[in-house]
Amino acid sequence: MKGAVISMKPLSVLLVGAGGYAANYVREMLDHGEERALRLAGVVDPYAATLPSYAELKQRGARFFGTVNQFYDLNSADLAVIATPIQYHAPQAVACLAHGSHVLCEKPAAATPEDVERMIAARDASGRALAIGFQWCYDEAMLRLKADVDAGALGRPVALRSIVLWPRAISYYKRGMGWAGRKYDAAGAPIFDSVASNATAHYLENMLWLVGAGYNGADITGMTVRTMRANDIETFDTIVMDAVLENGAKALFVASHAVGEDGRQEPAFVYEFENATVRFGGIGENGSNILARFRDGSVKDYGLTNLGGVASKLDRVCAIARGEPLPLPCPAEAALRHARAMAMIREKQPEADVFPESAVRVDDGLVWVPGLRDRLVKCYENWETL
């Protein structure tokens, strides 16, 4: 790896956020930063001293800052990686771009379409790259599928459906500063954190991204949606959305955090095109290769997708920051489609329906609804609403 380090232009990286999901970027920098020719310019996190990685970061010489502006007062960075609570994404991204840094911002890009548009304007004014961390956009198997879709090899998209059921305990909503599941923070900044905007957002965004032109995605033009909640939150933990995309394709999205542990369903999809059906996973399955079965009986295997990790998106954005002529597979425009979808959900149903108290169980800190998994699987398999 030493030769690879010498051949790469060194980059300075600012980590904005170091706890929660951001800990993955911390670990990547600590374990593999040197071989990637990355230097940690600083860590912005007012609670850094409480994190498990603090001692190791400090031992490695990391410098800590309470705010982005405090860092930029006397420092600079080639790349800023933002993985903070949703309400901070837009102002932090705008500030980092204004100070000349490329930005990799975790998903969702921001709480509202207006905030994403502010980020795009700041990007355009800065001349820097602004990448959003919807990880399937950086996945090699998914990029191979995307290339075939764009080339017309599968024909026109017709009907896409996706499901993911991930139980989340009460502790999930109490983590950090208590922003999870809330509409606004104490200062009035929008959050709109929900099952569809955050944890399972990848699988809604993927449908919009895959069938849109290039990497910019497709907008939803209409929808029927039902959101519900079993947890004591302000938004929703369960959704069934039946939508129409701007190119005429249909899209069904089913997701919930309110199923029991034995009702867990890892991400699965069936994407119907004119010439082929593309599948990933299945009910009761835990992932698979992405397979396309064509109407003529042939099968194309796009490979095993990587559902997690930060390495692929960090590597791509670092390459772009170094000036390599590579496309950015998840620009802010793609994330804007997702933000608009979330805004439409709020417009269609401002308040989530509440599961009856008699239908809800609490076991070992998990709030769940018996029978909900079966109902949601039926919605997915039969293209029904909740």
Residue 143: pLDDT band by 50, 70, 90 thresholds? Answer: very high
Task: Note the pLDDT of residue 217.
Answer: 97
Picking from 101, 47, 50, 49, the residue whose alpha carbon sits closest to that of residue 71 is: 101
C-alpha atoms less than 13 angstroms from C-alpha of 119 in its C-beta half-sphere:
34
Residue 1: pLDDT band by 50, 70, 90 thresholds? Answer: very low
First to last CA, the chain: 53
Which tens digit of pLDDT belongs to each residue from 7-21? 789 999 999 999 999
- CATH fold group of domain 2-135: Rossmann fold (3.40.50)
Q: What is the rounded CA–CA span in Å between residue 366 and residue 354?
A: 16
Asked whether the domain spanning 136-306+331-382 has the same topology as the one spanning 2-135, the reply is no
* The pairing of beta strand 353-354 with beta strand 220-229: parallel
> Looking at the predicted structure, is the pLDDT value of residue 2 above 50?
no
Picking from 237, 236, 271, the residue whose alpha carbon sits closest to that of residue 252 is: 271
What are the phi and psi torsion angles at 311 (to 5°)? -60, -45
Residue 178: pLDDT band by 50, 70, 90 thresholds? Answer: confident
H/E run at residue 339: helix 332-348
The mean pLDDT of 158-172, rounded to a whole number, is 97
Helices (H), ranges, the chain:
2-7, 23-32, 54-59, 68-74, 86-98, 113-126, 140-151, 170-174, 201-211, 311-321, 332-348, 372-382
Residue 3: pLDDT band by 50, 70, 90 thresholds? Answer: very low
Query: What are the C-alpha distances in Å from 201 to residues 4, 133, 284?
Result: 35, 11, 20
Query: What are the C-alpha distances in Å from 50 to residues 46, 47, 88, 176?
Result: 9, 6, 20, 11
Q: What is the rounded CA–CA span in Å between residue 102 and residue 99?
A: 9
Q: Amino acid identity of 175?
A: R
- CATH fold group of domain 136-306+331-382: Dihydrodipicolinate Reductase; domain 2 (3.30.360)
Which tens digit of pLDDT belongs to each residue from 225-277? 999 999 999 999 999 999 999 999 999 999 999 999 999 999 999 999 999 99
Q: What is the rounded CA–CA span in Å between residue 57 and residue 51?
A: 10
The mean pLDDT of 131-159, rounded to a whole number, is 97
Which tens digit of pLDDT belongs to each residue from 47-97? 999 999 999 999 999 999 999 999 999 999 999 999 999 999 999 999 999
* The pairing of beta strand 79-82 with beta strand 64-65: unpaired
- Domain ranges (residues) in the chain: 2-135, 136-306+331-382
> Looking at the predicted structure, is the pLDDT value of residue 5 above 50?
no
Q: What is the rounded CA–CA span in Å between residue 93 and residue 329?
A: 18
H/E run at residue 160: strand 157-165
Instruction: Answer whether 229's CB lies under 8 Å from 235's CB.
Output: yes
The answer to whether the predicted template modeling score (pTM) of the entire model surpasses 0.85 is yes
Task: Note the pLDDT of residue 309.
Answer: 83
Task: Note the pLDDT of residue 287.
Answer: 78
Q: What is the rounded CA–CA span in Å between residue 224 and residue 232?
A: 24
Q: What is the rounded CA–CA span in Å between residue 362 and residue 301?
A: 42
Q: What is the rounded CA–CA span in Å between residue 252 and residue 269?
A: 10
> What residues does 272 pair with on adjacent strands?
159, 277
Task: Note the pLDDT of residue 38.
Answer: 97
Q: What is the rounded CA–CA span in Å between residue 209 and residue 107?
A: 14
Q: What is the rounded CA–CA span in Å between residue 168 and residue 368?
A: 9
Picking from 81, 84, 141, 90, the residue whose alpha carbon sits closest to that of residue 114 is: 90
Task: Note the pLDDT of residue 176.
Answer: 81
Which tens digit of pLDDT belongs to each residue from 315-346? 999 999 999 999 999 999 999 999 999 999 99
The mean pLDDT of 277-296, rounded to a whole number, is 94
The fraction of the chain above a pLDDT of 90, given in percent, is 94
Q: What is the rounded CA–CA span in Å between residue 198 and residue 219?
A: 18
Q: What is the rounded CA–CA span in Å between residue 73 and residue 64?
A: 13
